[in-house]
Structure 1
Amino acid sequence: MAGAVLLARDDAQDAAVETVLAVAETVALSPFTVESLAAPDPVSRLQPYAESTRLATHTDFIVVMAPDRRRYSHPKPELIGQRFTGAIEGALNGGQVVEVFAGSLGESVRAVVPVRAGDGRIVGLVSVGITTEEINRRLTRQLPTLAVVTAAALALAAAGAWLLSRRLRRQTHGLGPAEMTRMYEYHDAVLHAVREGLVVVDGNGRVTLVNDEGRRLLGLPEDTGTDRLVADLDLPAAVDELLASGRPAEDEVVVAGDRVLVANQRVTRFAGRRLGTVLTLRDHTDLRLLAGELDSVRGLTDALRAQAHEAANRLHTVLTMVELGRTDEAVRLATAELAVAQQLTDQVVGAVTEPALAALLLGKSAQAAERGVEFVVADGSRLDGPALPSRDLLTVVGNLVDNALEAVAGTEPPRRVTVFVRADDDEVVVRVGDSGPGLPADRVTDAFRRGWSTKQDGRGLGLALVGQVIRRHGGRHTVGTAPTGGALVTVRLPRRS
């Protein structure tokens, strides 16, 4: 309020200066004033004119004087003829004088201007003033209005501040500045320290946060900024689809480059309003590979257990036939089964000198036999020495065979899976065909990028893991139709130097 009063006082004083200057200039430029100064009795003409003008303009004095300071008009007639007190030098030089001066009427704001004759000579001066007391009276009359306006402004500012504070409290869930600072520091440290990828997307599809682990898992550069649309980021296809859809997901397996990720996505809401989605990612690449190898071992164990049970039945049969004296038939039964098993073993071991791959093929043949599937290692298969890392070779062959076995499951006999593995000087070729329903042409891309299988849910990781190995080694793949009518998948990988 005090500041407003001071500003109003300054404005009132400036207005007074403008008023006295305007009135002084008007009187000085009046032809009547010039004529009166040249008359024999200037006082009789100028005193009534000055007083009427003073009353009309609401000023406190109008003094017309000679250049030697002698007054020709004054609100106090007894002072007419006496010398004017105050500065006039600037006006005598053709300029203006504006000052606050304590004269005969008290302190006042006054202006002095020259009166010029027709030839330009200064023949007199005009001084017009408003007392400081009058300025204060005018200001006092304005104080109620000023107080009302100030109070209204303060009330409006207070209401605005209250509304702004209420909105900020609502936006910050009631947290104060210190609490928000601490929360930001703690949350920022936690988000960058956790070993789980985090991606936050707002309701407009813009990525607002990606932590360090999320950048690593998704292959995003460190300088990739946030506040960008999901479509503008070079994300793996499966992750891009999940973020764009905004649908909830729980422990969904997605393939991102060479990694197998488990994704969970939740929709965030506040007060019933959807704010966006939060996606978390866990790296399960090594775990999935180990789980696949464990499944292969478990399958081989089950097959060996079944074969042991079957062998025990045949052994009992042979022994019974020997006891019955039918030794020739017993020998033929025993050697026939042995010849079939030995023939496949000799074929695999003779064609594949890589022990891990040979063991894998024998194990898959046992699984196929248990499922009633004919397992054939195609003629011309040959693999000498470590042409590729064993782990990658087992991933390609094992997953292709598993997919083929899944494809023929439940189909009408005869069910058949054919495997061809060969290495030359430049590349390793793996070809697996089956007698199943085949792989639709429009699903080939999805199968190798996002995971697809012939299972009921249509999703798996077999071909996706094969696709990882192909991309890592710079290989290629083709999908065609096998002679038996099913899918024929061919993978070509450059041989390791």
Structure 2
Amino acid sequence: MPAAGDRNWFGRVRPSWSLARQLFVLQVVVVAVVVLAGAALAWYDAQQRNEDAARDKVVAVSRTLAAQPAVRDGLTAPNPTATLQPLAERVRADTGVDFITIMSPAGIRYTHPDPTRIGQRFLGHIEQAVAGQVFTETYTGTLGPSVRAVVPVYDDAHRLVGLVSVGITVQVLTAALREQVIAMVAVAAGALLVGGLLTYLVSARIRRHTHGLRPAELSRMYEYHDAILHAVREGLLLVAPSGQVTLCNDGAAVLLSLDPAETEGEHVSELGLPKSLVDTLGSGRTVRDEVHLTDERVLLVNVSQIRSGDRDLGAVVTLRDHTELQALSGELDSMRGFAESLRSQAHESANRLHTVVSLIELGRAEEAVAFATAELRLAQQLTDRVVGAVGEPVIAAVLLGKSAEAGERGAEVVLGAGTEIDDVDVEHIDSRDLVTILGNLIDNAVEAALEGPRPRVEVTIRSTADGVLIRVADSGPGVDPDSAQQVFQRGWSTKDDGRGLGLTLVGQSVRRHRGSIEVHNDGGAVFTVRLPPGSDGAR
């Protein structure tokens, strides 16, 4: 039974061989086969070369002897052996061949390394030589198997007077080949040793990178890894220390409006992301729940730096979509402010009512009517608009709530002369985006107006040929012209404290509806938003 430690994290029994070990054995076998095959080919080539060299040598010696006048004269002498035997033995010793046999055309030996063989018939084929050809063969004679050549000998009249055969025994060739084989075996053993060592180093490296896992486990891990990356809704990025994106899952591609196939391998600065997000991804610091805005979304970003020992592996970036949550939070804040303003108005109304009652009790009815009329003029105007509105109660509700909230802070919110709330068509505009745009512009204007001597905010809303126009002007100090293009970036605020998010959300909502927003100074800051007709907020 396998021990508990023999089971992997999938609950299966671990096979005995890991991927690294299998590759090691496979590589060793491949190296061994290659080395042995190379050695065999080298041995075969050496054998062929030795035989070819032996044939060339015996042919050359045979031709040289056949051309010697002493050989021709000896063959025609009364006692050929007496003349030719010493010559043949001397040449044999000088050339290193194993035998030199000079014979008659009929194949009767006149010379031989073993004198007792003289006078006997030559063992081998001589027909081709008798016919005038030089030929070689491997034949077993009195000295054993040998590579031999047979050459005809002619006199001055070109008559065949004898034959010369020179041979080298196979035993000698084998001995010479054996020395070469020993050298080849030594080289092959060295190559096998070096190949095995290199294979072991490669195997160790693979084992370190695969953590000793087997092929089935690696395949299953990849399948799970791929399935998880495509299944999770949260965005996931892996960013190398150099800033290149090494992994981008489907969630990140959707949240950042990227193409995964074109994202991986690119630097974060080349993806068209907001500068603040690019700076965060390339900062090398750990980030927890940091809010970043793109053209269409509010993202919650987490960045974790990863290391392996002393190596910096880059960062893991997770992205969560907080667009809906941010919109709902803004709407909730607006509704909370509206409720608070109603509470404040109820409290103030009670005080005013007591004042009116007291004036009436004192018999000063005209003063009571004038006081009530003056104090409630703006509230009544907005209330009438709320009651009378049909398709645009959100606008009137936001105006009513914000005016009451501003009044408590000492600022006045008034409607511009060109405001036509009842005629504004906002059915194509998402109510949450409308609350975001109008609410944040008024809040920002009130903050700026409170810095002036007479805090006042003027709101104008009407339909135009280009859609819906929203203009919010304040009596504050205005906007620095050099900062006019930065007011919609995250971190800008009228307090210059780096925490501004409202105007950034305004810009995002306007872009989502394919609208435009402008800012200029006219006494104070004037923000103008234009939302084209038919824009539905879908990109």
TM range (shorter): 0.7 to 0.9
Cα 1:39–1:471 change in 2 (3 A) is farther
Letter of the 1:75 partner, please give it.
P
1:169-318 correspondence runs (5 A): 169-221=207-259, 223-224=261-262, 226-318=264-356
Q: Normalization by structure 1: what TM-score?
A: 0.82
User: How many residues were matched structurally?
Assistant: 490
Inter-partner Cα distance in structure 1 for 2:130 and 2:408: 124
Q: Which residue of 2 aligns with 1:479?
A: 519
2:442 is the counterpart of 1:395: no
Does the 8 Å CA contact 1:46/1:64 hold for their aligned counterparts? yes
Inter-partner Cα distance in structure 1 for 2:483 and 2:126: 101
Q: Which residue of 2 aligns with 1:38?
A: 72
1:38-187 correspondence runs (5 A): 38-41=72-75, 51-52=89-90, 54-55=92-93, 58-63=96-101, 74-80=112-118, 82-86=121-125, 89=128, 97=136, 100-108=138-146, 110=147, 112=149, 126-131=165-170, 133-141=171-179, 148-187=186-225
Does the 8 Å CA contact 2:67/2:153 hold for their aligned counterparts? no
User: How many Å apart are 1:224 and its aligned residue?
Assistant: 2.8
Does the 8 Å CA contact 1:100/1:107 hold for their aligned counterparts? yes
Does the 8 Å CA contact 2:144/2:169 hold for their aligned counterparts? no
Does the 8 Å CA contact 2:100/2:113 hold for their aligned counterparts? yes
For the residue of structure 2 that corresponds to 1:496, the secondary structure is: coil
Inter-partner Cα distance in structure 2 for 1:91 and 1:310: 144
User: Larger deviation: 366-375 or 189-198?
Assistant: 366-375
Q: Normalization by structure 2: what TM-score?
A: 0.77
Inter-partner Cα distance in structure 2 for 1:87 and 1:376: 133
Identity %: 46
Letter of the 2:52 partner, please give it.
E
Inter-partner Cα distance in structure 1 for 2:124 and 2:237: 83
Report Cα offsets for 1:31-68 as digits up to 9, x if no partner: 77454553343766765565455545554345566776
Inter-partner Cα distance in structure 1 for 2:125 and 2:268: 79
Determine which of 414, 423, 433 is the counterpart of 2:454. 414
Does the 8 Å CA contact 1:266/1:277 hold for their aligned counterparts? yes
Does the 8 Å CA contact 1:62/1:129 hold for their aligned counterparts? no
Does the 8 Å CA contact 2:36/2:188 hold for their aligned counterparts? no
For the residue of structure 1 that corresponds to 2:526, the secondary structure is: strand
Determine which of 31, 55, 60 is the counterpart of 1:26. 60
Structure 1 residues not aligned, in runs of 5+: none
Does the 8 Å CA contact 1:248/1:264 hold for their aligned counterparts? yes
User: How many Å apart are 1:296 and its aligned residue?
Assistant: 0.7
For the residue of structure 2 that corresponds to 1:39, the secondary structure is: helix
Report Cα offsets for 1:130-186 as digits up to 9, x if no partner: 41x334444555666555544433332332222222222333344444432222221
Does the 8 Å CA contact 1:404/1:433 hold for their aligned counterparts? yes
User: Larger deviation: 319-328 or 286-295?
Assistant: 319-328
Does the 8 Å CA contact 1:95/1:113 hold for their aligned counterparts? yes
Cα 1:19–1:380 change in 2 (3 A) is same
Report Cα offsets for 1:421-471 as digits up to 9, x if no partner: 221233322222224454455555555465744455525443333333433
**RMSD (Å) for aligned C-alpha atoms:** 3.9
Determine which of 405, 411, 415 is the counterpart of 1:377. 415
Inter-partner Cα distance in structure 2 for 1:401 and 1:65: 129
Inter-partner Cα distance in structure 1 for 2:523 and 2:153: 122
Inter-partner Cα distance in structure 2 for 1:212 and 1:395: 29
Cα 1:10–1:353 change in 2 (3 A) is closer
Report Cα offsets for 1:207-237 as digits up to 9, x if no partner: 2211112222222236436333334444455
Inter-partner Cα distance in structure 2 for 1:419 and 1:90: 126
User: Larger deviation: 464-473 or 205-214?
Assistant: 464-473
For the residue of structure 2 that corresponds to 1:191, the secondary structure is: helix
Inter-partner Cα distance in structure 1 for 2:495 and 2:90: 110
Q: Which residue of 2 aligns with 1:405?
A: 446
1:297-446 correspondence runs (5 A): 297-320=335-358, 322=360, 329-345=367-383, 354-383=392-421, 384-387=423-426, 388-391=428-431, 392-408=433-449, 411-441=451-481, 443-446=483-486
Inter-partner Cα distance in structure 2 for 1:468 and 1:257: 6
User: Larger deviation: 79-88 or 247-256?
Assistant: 79-88
Cα 1:13–1:394 change in 2 (3 A) is same
For the residue of structure 2 that corresponds to 1:209, the secondary structure is: strand
Structure 2 residues not aligned, in runs of 5+: 1-31
For the residue of structure 2 that corresponds to 1:184, the secondary structure is: helix
